Structure formats: structure tokens, C-alpha cells
Chain A
Amino acid sequence: MTYISAHRWQKRRNEFNHDWLKNQYIPALAKCRNLLDGRVEDPEFEAVFLLKIFPQWDHRRATLVELISLYEQMMSPQTLLEELPLSAMRESDKRWLGPLVHSLWLARTPAKQLVSSALEAFERVNASYERLKDSVSGADSSAIFLSPFREQFLAFRDDLQLLANAISDLPRDIDVT
């Protein structure tokens, strides 16, 4: 048995960070760099990037904020009071033991700092995204791969990589002791 709450959070993290961010979005940005540097040509990719790939951040960012915000709630050892074998405990005991276990966990682990770091990384990505979005608005698909946007693209991609690392830094197991 895997702890239910932790498993759900880990699954959501995997879907966002591993399946989408690391294996789809960042590689697409890496391809942009190659296009910007003139190392490859891919007219088909250029045509769809601005319309379909780049805006994916708009659709995903709310999911990420929710994911990071839920970390403390779903990965706290307090959740184990709702699962076997402790779910049999009296409710009156859960009312004091749950908050106590949660406070002790926050005190002895860097959970809060890790969440803050992930949120800061998110804010940096978001700011880079908005800058780039403003810069390329009105440009046609192929024009965005011209050199004026190169630095902004690279900054966006670097910020995304830091975000992926910050999300990976959130532990995958409930830390009980």
C-alpha cells in the first residue's frame, strides 16, 4: 500500500514536472535555441510554436501553483492519521495529535523553505514568460526565431529548468521522523 494522500500528490507532480515540463515543454524550448542559433531548420515547428506550444504555460501555471500549495497539506505526516492503521484512532485524539505532528514536521524539516523556493521559481518563470509574450505579441511565427528574442528565450528556458529542479527538490516520501 502506498500512502494515499502522498501518492496522489506524487502522481500530480510526476504528470506536471516529469511528463510535461521536463519531457515536453523544456525540450521544445531547447529546440527553439537551436532554431535561434541557426543550427537547425524546422518550418513546421516554427509555425506551431507560437500558437500551440509556447502558450501551454498559460494553461498549466494554475495547476502548478495548486500543486506547490498542496505540498504541505498532502505530504504532511498528519495525513497518516486518516489512513490505516491509525485511522482507527479516536477523533478527540486526532484533533490534538494531527496538528502536533504537523507542527513538529514543519519545525524539523525544510518543508516551508522548499515550498517557498518552488513558488519563487514559479514567479521567475512567470515573469520571463510574460516578458517574452509581450515581446513576441504581434510577431508572426517565424519572426520570433530572430535574434532580438534570443536572450529572452534563453532566460525563459533557464528559469524553467530552475523551476523543474525546485519541484524535484520537494521530497517524494512522507518524512515521519
Chain B
Amino acid sequence: MTLNVLVIGRGDSPGTQVTNGHTLEFTRHGGVPPDFLSLQQYDFVFMHLGPANPEAQAAIATWSSQGWGGKLIGISGGDVPVWSEKLAIPTIEGMANRQNLYDLHWATVRSDFGGDAYELASLLNQEQCEVLTSLAILCQGYLAVHAASAGEAALAHAPEEVSAALSLMGWDALNDKIRRNEPEAVLPSNLGLVLTEVVHPGWWLGAWGLSGVLGDERWAALADSLEKECAKQGAAEVPKEIGDLLDVMRPVVADSAREFHEIRPVTVSRAYLAITDLFSK
């Protein structure tokens, strides 16, 4: 059963579906005291806590007395006002407009979500995905180095995944700008020279501060974080393409000087495409 959510204080709009089938409905005001809106038909209600909705404080008190307090989440365009700290409802800051609400992490809220308002706010207002984000940045670095050293002629025959990843990360657009001599479009001059480094798993592990030695507990922590971040993005498990890239760099023997398999452009491209897919949900 998907959630039916009412947002008060961010304009009027009929129900719009977000990821996982949840519905957001918008209305400007919570009503006029003592006849505030009925919250009966809604699973959760996001109430704007700001001067544009002066009815908020009294409305929340009334709804709480009617047994609907557990449905309430306070939102604010800037910081949540000090007076709202006494309300004992979860809050989400930075919701300046309707788009901000659509952009919340609805992918993390399963269609059969059965938690309370605090759990919902926590899922929607979650922490950043540090590992996935950093992996995306490393993929961009690797692929740019690969492209710079391969040259345009070779890239014309690159596997489809490599072309797609390069295009998505902005490589084609950047090179178009460079050809047009746009001033901000520049590439580091030594890119092709670091190819031997970025194909080595040690470059990736070193970027995360990992040693590459079997038994490094930080590797396990990183893999665990990655799994949680993928779940937050709505994936039941770490996508295979991302797992394949991590497998190549996974420490397997208690010797950091062991021979590694070179990391291939196709492996990185597939992982990058999987990350962009996760972030687009």
C-alpha cells in the first residue's frame, strides 16, 4: 500500500506520483482555526513551519489532540524555526519549493512502508552516499585518462558501454567546448601519463586511504557502506556491475605487492553507468 502524503504550504497541486508509487498532494494552508483540515485520508502530512503558514502551530496542536500527531513532519525552506523545536515532530530543512519535495529520496521508502514519521523523515532526509559518489568520481578520472591516452580515432571503435559512460560524464561535451575554445573548458595536460597508475587497483584503494592488504578492516567497512548506500537508493543489492569493479580491486592475499589484474575500461564504464542509474532513481 503506497503512501498518500499531503504537503501544506508549498502551493496547490493535485496528487503527483513519486518513486515507488507514493503520492504527494499539495495545498497552501492547513485551514482556519478551529476548523483545520481533516488528515483522515492521509498517511503523512508535511507542514510548512514558517511565516507563510501562521496557522501551523495551532493546527499541529489541534491535529495532535485529534490523534494525528504521528502523521506530521515539519518542513522549512531554510532552517526550522526555533519555536518548532517544542513540537516533538520530525523536521526536514531546505524544502524551499515543490521540486525539493519531489527530489527527496523516495526510492528508499518502500511501497509497503510501515514505519512512523521519524523513520520516514530519516529515510527521506538521509545522509549522502559517500562511497558511491567517490566511486563515480574515480570512474570519471579513470575513463578520462583512458580516453585521453587512447585518442579520438581509437575511441570511435570503443565498446558501447565506454562511449555511453564517457558521454554521460560530460567527456564529449567538454571536448566540444575545447574545440570551440571556450575559456573554462580545459583538460589537465598530463592526463595520458597517469594511465599506468589508474589501471592499477592500488590507485583506487589509495584514493580511499586503503592499503590493499588482506585483513584491512577498512575494506570491509567500505563494502558494508556501499551495500547500505545502494539500499538507500532503492537497490535490493549492490548492482553486479559495481560489484565486478570492486572484485578486481578486492584484497585477496596478505601481500600488497601481489600482482593485480589491470582494471579494464569496460568494467569501469559498466560500473559508472550502474551508479548513474542508481542516482537517477
Contact = CB atoms under 8 A, between A and B. Distances in A.
B136 A106 contact: no
A45 to B, nearest CB: 16
Contacts of B94: 10, 14, 172
A101 interface: yes
B112 to A, nearest CB: 27
B252 interface: no
B243 to A, nearest CB: 18
Interface in A9-47: 10-11, 14-15, 17-19, 22-23, 27
B208 interface: yes
B128 A18 contact: no
B65 interface: no
Interface in B72-107: 76-79, 93-94, 96-97, 100, 103
Given A97-B137, A177-B136, A86 B96 contact: no
On chain A, which size bracket covers the interface? Answer: 35 or more
Contact of A2 (B79, B103, B128, B131): B128
Contacts of B176: 107
A103 B186 contact: yes
A100 B140 CA distance: 9
Interface in A90-120: 90, 93, 95-97, 99-101, 103-109, 112
Q: Which secondary structure dominates where chain A touches chain B?
A: helix
A103 B184 contact: yes
Given A101-B141, A177-B275, A18 B173 contact: no
Nearest to B142: A97
Interface residues of B, number: 52
B207 A93 contact: yes
Nearest to A175: B279
Interface in B173-197: 173-174, 176-177, 184-188, 190-191, 194, 197
Contacts of A177: 136, 168-169, 272, 275-276, 279
18 contacts: A1-B130, A3-B128, A18-B76, A19-B78, A85-B208, A86-B138, A88-B208, A90-B206, A93-B141, A97-B137, A100-B187, A101-B140, A104-B140, A107-B174, A107-B177, A107-B185, A108-B174, A177-B136
Interface of A: 1-3, 10-11, 14-15, 17-19, 22-23, 27, 77, 80-81, 84-86, 88-90, 93, 95-97, 99-101, 103-109, 112, 168, 172-174, 176-177
